[in-house]
């Protein structure tokens, strides 16, 4: 889900093995690895292969797929206005997250790094929504956005905006922004905490030295804190984008993709096609699209953005040897 | 000095505002559950007047809520035991044994970090149907274990590597085989890491929605997220009652968080926070 391994700066310690003691390691290897391989292969890898296979057929999901159509499902996907809309909406959410949610988290993390009474309590509170399930969050906010008894409209009326926001989730023009609001409510604390942990692992001597040299808080932030937070920021962007590409629970419960499909995401379209309309072949093609987008983004990002972090070049202030 | 005080004040103000933005929706839910719909309309912010505990007591008195909570607990425990046990075994091999193809295999697991249920859910559904696991809690538990393996293996391998080889050497000299070493020495030494991956597994299982949604047709096995959503569509006009249900569904997660905060936060920031 969330943890990315950082390759150790020093070469990994070679496993202890001496010929005399462990003459036959293979039975142990097989015994210990078999359950993981079996489950992972059968329930994670195989389904993705099956999805790839099924995407080449027109299939309702029952029996064995027989009606082979080659890449027709993918051709249809590329001309599908709904699919194009899914991509646009994903891009919108990614942009909003990177442009608003993450900078906000960064500022907050810097605040929480200051000596502040009750800092621990704030930390606890900010992170709390992260442990709530997306469904529970979504149902709660459905109530908050409810036109009559909801909290959201009461607040806009209270601050003099009237019924400006009467149609949070019901208006195609506002639904994505309302969705973004809920996503931010749930996840900004998570990013804040990542940044805070990274900030606190910067050795204080660096900032002390900068202060001695006469650097103000802004310059210290710009030239010391920010560069050293780089790896964490890059990983938080990575997680945020992947999470957005694969978004389902929240949207499904909050809006069902509506009104008139204006909040549908890739996974929601896949679910609609596969489980509601039984266009399993076509839905599998959407699955593959989600998979390929995630994989390509993941690999490219690791190759070009995370690479220097994984090599431990700029990051491992603490354990550079 | 006064500039510093001003800055300090601004800091407090900002933290309080954000804290309020987080807390207000939750408090709205908790208090809303004690109101009726009329009160919600006329008095959305204030305390309930009068307090109406009926929504809560109705739900707590119904079997459905408790059954769903029980299902969630059972599935979370089974998933956690499975994923931590199986993941620890694999992580031990990846950390301590050299064999051709090890890094490739490990990379396959690590790439699994990027696979969400959403991608695999359709074929998974077909597979589970073929295996006769629809409507069976194993149909949720086994895939949850499989999808939880990457994170478990990645974290535990890192931890196992940090345990000095001398420990293993002396265990072997004392005549312990690999199974014995793993079970009697490695696992007990790894409590902190096991705690972290356990909390991740519990939270993941507790919050899972899509998989139980497609596996359980029959409400007998429903977990809390399914129950909450079903309750919402059943009582769609009765906001106060839904708020009570949402609140009751939130409590276990929040309690668990308050209890295991360090473990969870430590787990999420480990390996990332070092930068």
Q: Tell me the per-residue pLDDT of B44-91, one tens digit each, with 9 for 90 and over.
A: 777 888 898 888 998 899 888 999 999 999 999 999 999 999 999 999
Q: What is the pLDDT of residues A147-194, one digit of tens each?
A: 777 778 777 777 776 665 567 888 888 899 999 999 999 999 889 988
Cα separation, A169 vs A163, in Å, equals 14
**Could A287 and B120 be called an inter-chain contact, meaning their C-beta atoms sit closer than 8 Å?**
yes
Q: Give the distance, in angstroms, between the CA of residue B84 and the centroid of all CA atoms in the same chain.
A: 13
- Mean pLDDT over A289-313 rounds to 77
Decide if B172 and A21 are in contact by the 8 Å CB cutoff: yes
Per-residue b/e over B164-202, b at no fewer than 16 CB within 10 Å? eeeebeebbeeebebeebbeebbbeebeebbbbbbbbbb
With a pLDDT cut of 90, the percent of chain B lying above it is 36
- pLDDT confidence of residue A24: 65
Q: Is B191 on the interface with A (CB under 8 A)?
A: no
Which of A9, A24, A39, A229 best probes binding to B when mutated, by most B CB atoms within 10 angstroms?
Answer: A39
Bridge partners for A68 per DSSP: A57
Specify the pLDDT at position A200.
86
The string of pLDDT tens digits covering residues B170-187 is 888 888 888 888 998 899
pLDDT of residue A15 exceeding 60, the answer is no
Pick from A112, A135, A270 the residue to mutate for testing the B interface (most B CBs within 10 Å): A135
Q: Which of A288, A45, A267 is nearest to B146 (CA)?
A: A45
In DSSP notation, A86-153 reads HHHHHHHHHHHIIIIIHHHHHHHHHHHHS--TTHHHHHHHHHHHHHS-HHHHHHHHHHHT-TTT-HHH
Indicate the range of A19-33, A274-288, B141-155, B248-262 predicted with least confidence: A19-33
Written as six digits, the tokens of B266 are 């430590």
pLDDT at B268: 66
Q: Which residues of A touch B118 (CB under 8 A)?
A: 246, 248, 267, 270, 287, 290
- pLDDT category at A19 given cuts 50, 70, 90 is very low
Chain A residues touching residue B142 (CB < 8 angstroms): 39, 43
Q: Which pLDDT value is given to residue A163?
A: 62
Residues of B in contact with A229 (CB under 8 A): 275
Q: Quick one: pLDDT band at residue B271, thresholds 50, 70, 90?
A: very low
**Interchain contact, A126 vs B19, CB within 8 Å:** yes
Q: Which helix (H) or strand (E) holds A57?
A: strand A57-58
Q: What residues 37-56 of chain B have any CB closer than 8 A to a CB of chain A?
A: 37, 40-41, 44-45
pLDDT of residue B170: 87
**pLDDT number for residue B78:** 97
Residue A163 or A228, more confident: A228
| Cα atoms in the 13 Å half-sphere on the side-chain side of B136 | 12
Interchain pair B275, A309: CB under 8 A: yes
CA pair distance A2, B269, nearest whole angstrom: 9
State residue A8's pLDDT score: 46
* Chain A residue whose CA is closest to B161: A13
| pLDDT of A56 above 90 | yes
pLDDT > 70 fraction of chain A, expressed in percent and rounded: 86
Q: What is the pLDDT of residue A20?
A: 43
- Residue A283 to residue B22, Cβ atoms within 8 A: no
Residue A208, pLDDT score: 85
Cβ(A137)–Cβ(A131) under 8 Å?
no
Give pLDDT, residue A321: 27
CA distance B192 to chain A (A): 16
Q: What is the mean pLDDT of residues A195-212?
A: 87
Residue A320 is predicted with a pLDDT of 30
Is B174 in the A-facing interface, judged by CB distances under 8 Å? Answer: no
Is the pLDDT confidence value at A303 over 70? yes
Q: What is chain A's percent helix, strand, coil content, to nearest 5?
A: 65, 0, 30
Q: How confident is the model at residue A14 (pLDDT cuts 50, 70, 90)?
A: low
Pairwise CB contact (< 8 Å): A298 & B111: yes
Averaged confidence pLDDT in chain B: 87
This prediction has a pTM of 0.86
Among A108-112, B227-231, B232-236, which range has the highest average pLDDT?
B227-231
């Amino acid at each position: 889900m969330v943890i990315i391994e950082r390759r150790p700066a020093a070469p990994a310690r070679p496993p202890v093995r001496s010929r005399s003691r462990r003459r036959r390691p293979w039975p142990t290897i097989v015994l210990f690895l078999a359950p993981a391989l079996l489950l992972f292969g059968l329930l994670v890898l195989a389904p993705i292969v099956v999805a790839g296979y099924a995407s080449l057929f027109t299939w309702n999901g029952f029996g064995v797929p027989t009606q082979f159509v080659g890449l027709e499902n993918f051709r249809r996907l590329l001309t599908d206005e709904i699919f194009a809309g899914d991509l646009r909406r994903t891009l919108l959410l990614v942009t909003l997250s990177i442009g608003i949610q993450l900078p906000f988290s960064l500022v907050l993390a810097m605040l929480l790094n200051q000596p502040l009474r009750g800092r621990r309590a704030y930390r606890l509170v900010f992170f709390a929504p992260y442990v709530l399930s997306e469904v529970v969050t979504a149902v709660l906010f459905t109530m908050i956005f409810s036109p009559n008894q909801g909290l959201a409209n009461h607040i806009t009326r209270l601050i003099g905006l009237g019924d400006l926001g009467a149609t949070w989730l019901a208006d195609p023009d506002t639904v994505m922004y309302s969705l973004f609001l809920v996503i931010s409510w749930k996840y900004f604390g998570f990013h804040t905490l990542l940044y805070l942990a990274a900030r606190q692992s910067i050795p204080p001597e660096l900032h002390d030295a900068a202060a001695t040299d006469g650097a103000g808080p802004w310059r210290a932030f710009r030239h010391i804190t920010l560069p050293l937070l780089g790896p964490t920021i890059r990983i938080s962007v990575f997680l945020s984008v992947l999470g957005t590409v694969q978004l389902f629970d929240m949207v499904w419960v909050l809006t069902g993709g509506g009104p008139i499909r204006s909040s549908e995401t890739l996974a929601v379209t896949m679910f609609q096609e596969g489980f509601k309309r039984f266009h399993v072949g076509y839905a599998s093609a959407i699955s593959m699209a989600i998979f390929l987008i995630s994989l390509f983004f993941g690999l490219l990002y690791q190759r070009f953005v995370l690479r220097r972090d994984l090599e431990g070049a700029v990051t491992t202030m603490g354990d550079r040897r | 000095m006064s500039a510093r005080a001003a800055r300090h004040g601004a800091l407090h103000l900002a933290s309080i505002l954000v804290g309020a933005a987080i807390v207000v929706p939750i408090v709205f839910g908790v208090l809303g559950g004690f109101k009726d719909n009329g009160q919600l309309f006329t008095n959305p912010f204030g305390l309930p007047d009068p307090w109406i505990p009926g929504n809560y007591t109705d739900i707590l008195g119904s079997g459905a809520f408790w059954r769903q909570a029980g299902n969630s607990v059972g599935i979370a425990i089974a998933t956690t035991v499975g994923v931590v046990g199986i993941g620890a075994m694999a992580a031990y091999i990846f950390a301590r044994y050299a064999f051709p193809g090890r890094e490739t295999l490990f990379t396959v697991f690590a790439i699994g970090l990027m696979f969400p249920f959403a991608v695999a859910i359709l074929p998974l559904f077909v597979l589970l149907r073929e295996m006769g696991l629809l409507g069976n809690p194993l149909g949720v538990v086994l895939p949850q274990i499989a999808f939880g393996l990457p994170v478990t293996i990645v974290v535990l391998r890192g931890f196992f590597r940090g345990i000095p080889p001398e420990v293993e050497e002396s265990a072997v000299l004392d005549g312990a085989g690999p199974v014995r070493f793993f079970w009697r020495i490695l696992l007990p030494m790894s409590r902190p890491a096991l705690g972290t991956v356990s909390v991740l597994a519990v939270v993941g299982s507790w919050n899972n929605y899509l998989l139980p949604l497609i596996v359980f047709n029959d409400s007998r096995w429903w977990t809390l997220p399914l129950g909450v959503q079903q309750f919402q569509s059943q009582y769609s006009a009765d906001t106060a009652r839904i708020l009570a249900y949402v609140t009751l569904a939130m409590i276990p997660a929040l309690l668990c968080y308050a209890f295991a905060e360090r473990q969870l936060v430590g787990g999420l920031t480990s390996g990332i926070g070092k930068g």
